[in-house]
Amino acid sequence: MKTKIIVSRHEATIKFIKEVIPGFETAPVREEVTKEEIRGKEVAGNTPLNLAAEAEKVHAVIFDGKPPRGEEVDSIEGLKERGVRIETFKVTKEGRIV
């Protein structure tokens, strides 16, 4: 089983992830991570592509419309009203241009 980690600063998002993604109920939460900290792990939250490429897979928090900013939404119910869902990705780095 892969090590799991949540990357988020938003309390409602953290609660939502722990509620809906199996195995993340007790996952550690970090506001920021390095590539070394997520390499080979199963990550939930929104992570820049260069870091996501280091993870085994990433469960991204996606919204139907415009995502809330900061603390605009402070509850799971508020997230659901905005059309929140989780989509899973495997990100591969193919090269560097500059």
Which of the residue ranges 1-10, 17-26, 59-68 would you say has the lowest mean pLDDT?
A: 59-68
**pLDDT value of position 1:** 59
**pLDDT value of position 67:** 72
Beta bridge partners of 74: none
Distance (Å, rounded) from C-alpha 73 to C-alpha 88?
23
pTM beyond 0.75: yes
Give domain limits for the chain: 4-89
What pLDDT digit, counting tens, does each position of 52-73 carry? 999 999 999 999 877 777 667 8
**pLDDT value of position 81:** 87
Q: Using an 8 Å Cβ cutoff, are 12 and 74 in contact?
A: yes
Q: Of 85, 45, 47, whose CA–CA distance to 65 is shortest?
A: 85
Mean pLDDT calculated for residue range 32-37 = 95
